[in-house]
Structure 1
Amino acid sequence: MTTTTTTTTVVTGLGIVAPNGLGTEDYWKATLAGESGLGPITRFDAAQYPSRVTGEVPGFVAEQHIPSRLMPQTDHMTRLALAAADWAIKDAAVEADQLPEYSMGVVTAASGGAVEFGQRELQNLWSQGKEYVSAYQSFAWFYAVNTGQISIRHKMRGPSGVLLSEQAGGIDSIGHARRHVRKGIPLVVSGGVDAAVCPWGWVPQIASGLLSTENDPARAFLPFSADASGYVPGEGGAILVVEDADSARGRGARQIYGEVSGYAATLDPAPGSGRPSGLRRAAENALIDAGLVPGDIDVVFADASGVPELDLAESEVIAGLFGERAVPVAVPKTMTGRLLAGGSALDVATALLSLRDGVIPPSVNVTASPDHRIDLVTEAREAQLRNALVLTRGYGGFNAALVVRRSA
């Protein structure tokens, strides 16, 4: 459904926590250099599992970023999210204590919540008894916990929420934030950060049958390649400050990374129905919402699942919509893995950095198979960039597309 409005929604702040960089500029430098953050799991003993490669956020010492009073009541996921939100708000030059509390909202994405915290407390229950379960278990595991903790920390009491559409959630949260801005809320903190590198978060993904079982980090996640064998999960994501453009300029925002100009979401039909995926329809509707045609798009940031049949379905959508090898396709997540609810938010942040600097980041370790009729960017490529399309799919049939436009 398209909303007609004169409100311009922009992104004024970015906070990134990723397997190949802690902080926006460190991440961006590593990404342009093609530095991968994939490696063997270290957060738990994965020797008994068939999939043992992941993307872990390096060098994050929670005590350096999180107040001591919050440590007992937060999971690794929420600590990452709080740090990313702090950085995004600082980057946007937002003085939250000087703005009306109800003028600021928080909308984030989640997949399964803080599963590491939940696993630990359930282990305490089973092995020691209920007296050893933390009282914080009542909320610390909850899928809305990142939204709640960010809103409490920064006294943001405006419209808030959480989107649960797995990998698509990051884009869905930004689309939802734009709705709030169009309804008159000046500022919304949005995006997604996830972390499920623990047995409780790992086993369900293995059960999906979509994870790569390759143990060489350089060979484990090869979307659009003839050797693609599944995806590699990672942790991290991005938090963005989304604002009304006039309001942002009026309060003296430090910069505007770009405009959120188009958004759409669809659901796939039931398996076995014979009907096509809704990904192309999401892309088309996002372009319509942005007032653009396919020829206006300068780069596509692909979902790139790494699962051969899903990769082929996506490359056919891209080639069918834009023409064979007619638009550059970027897959920076080859350096991070798929970050669940944080993945597409990080792709949006990366797209905005690409627009800012006029460079398309590389997709590492991959060479596109001839079956995929796309122009896969494998080395950093300078380009005149005005509009970027970000595509994403979440497990369970979720599709979302977002168009971001370079700020004038």
Structure 2
Amino acid sequence: MSTSRAAVEAVVTGIGVVAPTGIGTEAHWQSVVAGKSGIGRISRFDPTPYPVRLAGQVPGFLAREQVPSRLIPQTDHWTHMALAAAAAALEDARVDPAGFDDYDMAVVTASSSGGTEFGQHEMERLYLNGPSWVSAYQSIAWFYAATTGQVSIRHGMRGPCGVICCEQAGGIDAFGQARRLIRLGSRLVVSGGTDAPLCPYGLVAQLSNGKLSQVDDQARAYLPFDVHASGHVPGEGGAMLIVESAESASARGAGGGYGTIAGYAAGFDPPPGSSRPPVLRRTMERALEDAGCPPSEVDVVFADAAGVAEEDLAEARALTEVFGPRGVPVTAPKTLTGRLYGGGASLDIATALLALRDGLIPYTAGPGTLAPGCDIDLVTGQPRELPLRTALVLARGYGGFTAALVLRAPDPASPPQANPGEDKGGTG
């Protein structure tokens, strides 16, 4: 990539959240700051026969209130939430897609489960009633790229579109790709991810990895870095964000938005039994190098926080190797939502940008006593108020996917974002 292209800044100007902690960016943020959990007994189906009965579920989400009616029978719950979050992000950014050239707008999302619930229902129809009962939309609703396609169609975005399938790490990888597209000439990218793995078929698929917590106490089920860590809680939802070139955002009065995507890196763990170490440390270092940011300038780390003892220890050691023992505040607000897979890292990115905005590190609800070897400064008990300029977001996906993203707060000299009454579009 040329030096001129690499110099193009990608800024986040809009956030849309549909998560267990609330529908809407500010509702989510208020829940996170207050430590209000969105985890409870699964209600989308009867979980009684299953060893896992808790999950993070989006409260009060009704597709008919958020999604065009014709799309509801054509798409999965996962896509419904993404459509709602994308529309909210565009509104938050004060963007009218009609003011942009179609080919200047792109869509890149993360996906993990795909249209699991839709697929389960169609398989039920197949086995109970026969092939003629299976919906024609089965061929597209389950597909990992369905959300990207539906968002691009709904908003007339005909630039480069794609989907990243790296489980939890995919949410960060999607933003790495969004920045790449901005540097290659796109003016605006809708990026992020949601997930909806809460159906019997989806839950059984997750059980196979042995990493789900079977603890029935909501307050004790997901305890990353804790001596009593027992696995993670699954969840649904996520976040969609608007990424623009700094030049385009400034031209329409959006200023520096919520912050800049300053650095990104991805890696993949060696196979089990390898003498090579996990890639998390090197991935962090590469992301910081990409951002031109020494570890001493990082103000907060949003951890992957697997909730599995050996994975927590590996992450804590990598953090200690990069920052020193207790060298940087670390937080994991995902204990309030569960791990959202394709939506998890995108929600962490949104939360990190809000933390930078308000100078407030949300705390990690649940953990009480750090496990031996986890020599990190985990923020617990209450939020920590600090001047925040730089955040590092980490994510690891099942199988070895690893990614890191560096975010910077807007320059204090950046002009304020446009008022709602001002022009929402571009010059075309």
Q: TM-score, normalised by structure 1?
A: 0.98
> What is the aligned-residue identity percentage?
58
Amino acid of the structure 1 residue aligned with 2:371: S
Deviation string for 1:74-124 (max 9, x for gaps)?
111110000000000111111101210000000000013110000000110
Match of 2:93 in 1: 92
- Asked if structure 1 preserves the Cα contact closer than 8 Å seen for 2:269 and 2:278, the reply is yes
The answer for unaligned runs of 5 or more in structure 2 is 412-428
Amino acid of the structure 2 residue aligned with 1:282: T
1:170 positional shift:
0.4
Picking from 377, 380, 401, the partner of 2:379 is 377
**Aligned structure 1 segments of 4 or more residues deviating by more than 6 angstroms:** 1-4
Alpha-carbon distance in structure 2 between the residues aligned to 1:69 and 1:48: 35
Counting only pairs closer than 5 Å after superposition, residues 270-349 of structure 1 correspond to structure 2 as 270-349=271-350
Deviation string for 1:5-39 (max 9, x for gaps)?
21011000000111011110000001000000111
1:401 aligns with 2:382: no
1:169 aligns with 2:199: no
1:246 positional shift:
0.6
Amino acid of the structure 1 residue aligned with 2:322: L
- Asked if structure 2 preserves the Cα contact closer than 8 Å seen for 1:193 and 1:237, the reply is yes
Amino acid of the structure 2 residue aligned with 1:167: Q
Deviation string for 1:252-295 (max 9, x for gaps)?
32760000000000000111112111111110000000001110
- Asked if structure 2 preserves the Cα contact closer than 8 Å seen for 1:94 and 1:253, the reply is no
Alpha-carbon distance in structure 2 between the residues aligned to 1:98 and 1:298: 37
Give secondary structure in 1 for the equivalent of 2:219: helix
1:370 positional shift:
4.3
Counting only pairs closer than 5 Å after superposition, residues 115-134 of structure 1 correspond to structure 2 as 115-134=116-135
Amino acid of the structure 1 residue aligned with 2:374: H
- Asked if structure 1 preserves the Cα contact closer than 8 Å seen for 2:317 and 2:373, the reply is no
Deviation string for 1:234-264 (max 9, x for gaps)?
0011101011001111123276000000000
Match of 1:55 in 2: 56
RMSD (CA atoms): 1.2
Alpha-carbon distance in structure 1 between the residues aligned to 2:90 and 2:154: 12
1:188 aligns with 2:183: no
Alpha-carbon distance in structure 1 between the residues aligned to 2:322 and 2:204: 36
- Asked if structure 2 preserves the Cα contact closer than 8 Å seen for 1:211 and 1:231, the reply is yes
Match of 1:72 in 2: 73
Alpha-carbon distance in structure 2 between the residues aligned to 1:146 and 1:232: 24
1:148 positional shift:
0.4
Counting only pairs closer than 5 Å after superposition, residues 144-155 of structure 1 correspond to structure 2 as 144-155=145-156
Match of 2:259 in 1: 258
Match of 1:211 in 2: 212
Match of 2:395 in 1: 392
Match of 1:357 in 2: 358
Alpha-carbon distance in structure 2 between the residues aligned to 1:52 and 1:199: 11
Deviation string for 1:313-361 (max 9, x for gaps)?
0000001110111100010001000000100010011000000000000
1:404 positional shift:
0.1
Amino acid of the structure 2 residue aligned with 1:381: R
1:247 aligns with 2:248: yes
Give secondary structure in 2 for the equivalent of 1:14: strand
Alpha-carbon distance in structure 1 between the residues aligned to 2:99 and 2:36: 40
Give secondary structure in 2 for the equivalent of 1:220: coil
Match of 2:21 in 1: 20
Match of 2:421 in 1: none
1:81 aligns with 2:82: yes
Alpha-carbon distance in structure 2 between the residues aligned to 1:103 and 1:228: 46
1:393 positional shift:
0.1
Alpha-carbon distance in structure 1 between the residues aligned to 2:204 and 2:237: 19
- Count of aligned pairs: 408
Alpha-carbon distance in structure 2 between the residues aligned to 1:151 and 1:98: 15
Give secondary structure in 2 for the equivalent of 1:87: helix
- More divergent stretch after superposition (281-290 vs 364-373): 364-373
Amino acid of the structure 2 residue aligned with 1:162: V
Amino acid of the structure 2 residue aligned with 1:290: A
Match of 1:198 in 2: 199
1:362 positional shift:
0.8
- Asked if structure 2 preserves the Cα contact closer than 8 Å seen for 1:210 and 1:231, the reply is yes
The answer for unaligned runs of 5 or more in structure 1 is none
